[in-house]
A = this chain, B = another copy of it.
Amino acid sequence: MIDLDFDKMGGLIPAIVQDHASGDVLMLGYMNAEAFAATLESGEATFFSRSRRELWIKGKTSGHVQRVKSIHIDCDRDAILVRVEQVGGAACHTGYRSCFYRRVEDRRLIIDDQPIFDPKEVYKK
C-alpha cells in the first residue's frame, strides 16, 4: 500500500488538480485517507470538504466530475498531484475553467479568464 503522511496536517493532504491535456492547474483540494482510497477505487477525484466535514466527489452536483488520468506523490509524501480530464471544461464553482482565475498585477487581483458556465444555471436548487 502507499504510505502517505496524513499526520502533518491533521489527517489531510493537499491535492493539486491539473488538466492532463492543457496542463492548467485547476484547483487545490484536500484528501483524507478515505478520499484518497475512493479516488483510487472510483477513478474520480474525491476530496474531503473542510467546511462540510464530509467526503466530496468533485462534480457530483454539477456533473463536472474529474476523471483521473494519473496520480503523483511528492518527495515528502505530503502532497498529491492528480491529473484529470475535467468533464464540462470548468473546475470552479464560479464557472471558470480554473479556480485560479485571478492574477496578481500591481498588488491587485485582476480576472484573467472568461467563465465557461453560469453557476446559476448549473447549481439550480
Contact = CB atoms under 8 A, between A and B. Distances in A.
A27 B16 CA distance: 10
29 contacts: A2-B107, A2-B109, A9-B9, A14-B14, A14-B28, A16-B16, A16-B28, A23-B23, A25-B25, A27-B74, A27-B79, A28-B74, A40-B107, A72-B98, A72-B100, A72-B101, A72-B102, A72-B104, A73-B102, A73-B103, A74-B99, A74-B100, A74-B102, A75-B92, A75-B94, A75-B96, A75-B101, A79-B99, A81-B100
Contacts of A9: 9
Copies in the complex: 2
Interface size class of A (residues with CB under 8 A): 35 or more
